[in-house]
Structure 1
């Protein structure tokens, strides 16, 4: 435990230095698409062997339009993901979702793989399970079946990617990826006792609403607009979302908008007024009141607290 504690202390110290640099490096939030090197919606990189291969600076706050699945077999890593510093000591699995703002604070002797995955390749049922149960690093035992299977799957995907003569390698990679994601969905749902997500009408509505929200949160602020798009009544949408999440439709819309506001406040040079307009709030005063109601602080206070936060 002493070794792990000293590693965490060293990583935390580096986080303070990175936060100081962030104050001076803020710019508009960058968003990156899937690498042009990806074939058929996915690419796998060996962290140790391909450390020099990168399409963008991972130490700079950014978001991706695809999933990132990290398998750290050994070493340590400190990442910031949507305002939370995540300490990873291998062996660990971590999933970064499309749209989450993240950057690497530090890495030391890191080994393993990272896969960039087009969301279209991730089974809808797996996506729901991951949204509920894979929001934190999954620490795994080296002697466990999960570790063994994950290591084997990733190693085989890397080998297939390097082959040039096999005409069916992409199909094989997709099959192995689906098997790996299925394994992780089962493991995380067992840990959090969420069980199998049944594809019933309620879950279908929730999934469709969530996807609409991610696309239209700037211009659609009224629950009735989402209900109309889904061809259901506003009351039915309310009952469904409230029953599955515990929050009203309006609360879900506001919470998503405020999350995006936090991202823009901390990782862009936009003024509070500009953030409000970008999120579809024509009255910056109303936006400020809503932000304080949900977070407990004003937008400027939140920006200052985050950039001055001492770990």
Structure 2
């Protein structure tokens, strides 16, 4: 049985970020069709500054007209944006670079996240930040602070985007029970990942059965509890590698893996690179 493919950002961008600007007519319709239905292991943001575009996200057709902001969560099923008559920004971001407070804002919109119509002032601020981010990102000059500066500019954009959705007061449908469970599970996961990795333990925290938790997550994301637990483990490992100074053995023990060799193999299998290679690539 053919499963829905999951596209990994690591295969295209070793620094956890991919950003580009597309003008009207630059999005190839044949390429959109060839890419097909898929999931991503990362966030995708669009900032449309002219024209209109459409997306199919989790079997819902989304239409948005500039000026608008929209995003896709990791794991959501979608096609590539159809934007033959639109211009704007495309940003793909590793979840480890999205602060937890921002993740909570974006994830809590599931599954009804709508395009946010930005004001002229918000558009100018976001576009200005993205232009500066792109300039720094595309012109690595050997500076030891290249990536920290790039990631700091990215945080500025994410903060603006999260602020927009915090201010959003449009009509919202009442989330279904599976959506509520997914939101609660992801909050618990982020808070307890260093010590709790058992699907049954999270089900107990939510006062539901492990089977029901799995069913809820499959309905909202198409993926089981075990997938999201492993993603959160790797996310925490990446953050410790990037932001901290602990060695791999210390990180493995902190995350509950007494065998650092096993942890390293697990990291490589999931992230596509070794822990030390990941740290080196993110600290250019």
- Normalising by structure 2, report the TM-score: 0.60
Q: How much has 1:58 moved relative to structure 2?
A: 6.5
1:147 to 91, 111, 123: 123
- CA offset digits 1:91-126 (Å, max 9, x no partner): 111111111110147323221111110000000111
Residues 258 and 155 of structure 1: CA distance in aligned 2, closer, same or farther (over 3 Å): same
Q: Does 1:255 align with 2:216?
A: yes
Q: How much has 1:158 moved relative to structure 2?
A: 1.1
Q: Does 1:181 align with 2:161?
A: no
- 2:32, 2:82 within 8 Å by CA — same for their partners in 1? no
Q: 1:260 and 1:161 mapped to 2: Cα distance?
A: 31
| Residue of structure 2 equivalent to 1:207 | 187
- 2:53, 2:84 within 8 Å by CA — same for their partners in 1? yes
| Residue of structure 2 equivalent to 1:47 | 22
TM alignment of 1:163-182, pairs within 5 A? 163-167=139-143, 168-182=145-159
Q: How much has 1:83 moved relative to structure 2?
A: 0.7
TM alignment of 1:187-198, pairs within 5 A? 187-192=164-169
Structure 1: runs of 5+ lacking an equivalent: 1-25, 194-202, 214-218, 228-233, 240-246, 264-311
Q: 2:192 and 2:5 mapped to 1: Cα distance?
A: 22
Please state whether the residue corresponding to 1:103 is helix, strand or coil.
Answer: coil
- Normalising by structure 1, report the TM-score: 0.56
Note the aligned Cα RMSD (angstroms): 3.9
Q: Does 1:65 align with 2:41?
A: yes
Q: 1:75 and 1:27 mapped to 2: Cα distance?
A: 36
Bigger radius of gyration among the two: 1
Residues 192 and 129 of structure 1: CA distance in aligned 2, closer, same or farther (over 3 Å): farther
Q: How much has 1:211 moved relative to structure 2?
A: 9.2
- 2:44, 2:73 within 8 Å by CA — same for their partners in 1? yes
- CA offset digits 1:61-110 (Å, max 9, x no partner): 01111111111111211110001000011111111111111014732322
- 2:185, 2:206 within 8 Å by CA — same for their partners in 1? no
| Residue of structure 2 equivalent to 1:242 | none
Residues 260 and 174 of structure 1: CA distance in aligned 2, closer, same or farther (over 3 Å): closer
- 1:35, 1:55 within 8 Å by CA — same for their partners in 2? no
TM alignment of 1:1-311, pairs within 5 A? 28-34=3-9, 36-48=11-23, 51=27, 59-104=35-80, 106-133=82-109, 135-141=113-119, 143=120, 145-167=121-143, 168-192=145-169, 207-209=187-189, 220=199, 224-226=200-202, 234=204, 237-238=205-206, 252-260=213-221
Residues 30 and 249 of structure 1: CA distance in aligned 2, closer, same or farther (over 3 Å): closer
Q: 1:58 and 1:121 mapped to 2: Cα distance?
A: 29
Please state whether the residue corresponding to 1:181 is helix, strand or coil.
Answer: helix
Q: 1:112 and 1:192 mapped to 2: Cα distance?
A: 24
Q: How much has 1:248 moved relative to structure 2?
A: 9.2
Residues 105 and 122 of structure 1: CA distance in aligned 2, closer, same or farther (over 3 Å): closer
Residues 59 and 127 of structure 1: CA distance in aligned 2, closer, same or farther (over 3 Å): same
- CA offset digits 1:18-39 (Å, max 9, x no partner): xxxxxxxx95312111154424
Residues 27 and 76 of structure 1: CA distance in aligned 2, closer, same or farther (over 3 Å): farther
| Residue of structure 2 equivalent to 1:294 | none
Please state whether the residue corresponding to 1:258 is helix, strand or coil.
Answer: helix
Aligned residues: 205
Q: 1:28 and 1:212 mapped to 2: Cα distance?
A: 30
Residues 51 and 104 of structure 1: CA distance in aligned 2, closer, same or farther (over 3 Å): closer
